[in-house]
Each structure stands twice: as structure tokens, then as C-alpha cells.
Amino acid sequence: MGPVGPAGPPGPPGSSAPFVPIRTMLVYTNQMKDVEPSEAPKLLRTVGTFTKELADTVIELTWQSHIRTEGDDGYCSFDVRIDGASMPVPSGLWLGATLHDTNDAPVNLYLEFPGLAPGAHEVTLWTRGVNGATACIDNPGSFLRTVHVVETY
């Protein structure tokens, strides 16, 4: 190994503070019920908006609620989207919470959205029902529900 060369020029000034994730909590309390579920996903509710600050960060989104399916042998699926778009997944897959056969259950869904531009974005909840579902319901008890949005690296 040869001798060490001279030091290069100094780089541009950087931040002296570490990055702190930017957090937004969206809250809702009312029940929403799709009484005509279809196989095609459709908008169930608008949850709220958040502002993404930086270009090279990822949005982590966590939805916490309670869901219900009505209709024997039916399925309801729920999906949280940003600006109407699902989290990127392989073509043809549905990523979300699914419930079967006249049941209800708590749900905690974690999603990551890379590549969003800085600026305001809208969080929405979508649903679809198949195989005899007669209703797909978010928050049947009308309790406090949340979507946590975290901008991070």
C-alpha cells in the first residue's frame, strides 16, 4: 500500500442536528358503512391531510380502527391510501385488512409510501366487498380512531 494522499477540499455545510421524524396524527370518531359493497374498490372516507416536508423521505402510515363485515360468507377488504393510491405492491395484489363472514375485529395496518413529493397529501380509506358481503363498516362503535403518519428516512 502506498502513502496517503492530501486531504480533499471541505464539503458543503451540513446540519449539525440529527434528523427527527415528522409526525402527524389524524383522528376520526364516526362510523362509515358501505351498504352496497362491490369487488371494485371505492372510497369509504377521507381521513385527513398531512404535509410532507422533504423529498428524499418515506411516509410510514399506521391505521388503527375496528372493522365489520355483514353478510354470510362475504368478505370485506379495507385499504388506506395516499392521494388515492395504494402502497406500491406487485401487480394484482390487494394489500389491506380483510374480514370474513359477519364478523368484526380490531385492525392495525402498517404501510410505507416511498417517493411521495413534498407538499400536502390526502389520506383516504377504501373498501371492497365480495362473495355476498352486504355491508363493509369502519368503526362500528364510533370510537376514537387514528392514522399515524411519520415522515422518516
Instruction: Say how far apart CA 85 and CA 33 lie, in whole Å.
Output: 21
Q: Residues 3-35: pLDDT tens digits? A: 888 888 886 776 666 778 999 999 999 999 999
Count of residues in the chain: 153
Q: Residues 81-118: pLDDT tens digits? A: 999 998 887 655 566 778 777 788 999 999 999 999 99
pLDDT band at 152 (very low <50, low <70, confident <90, very high): very high
Q: Residues 48-63: pLDDT tens digits? A: 999 999 999 999 999 9
What SS3 class is residue 30? coil
pTM for the predicted model, two decimal places: 0.84
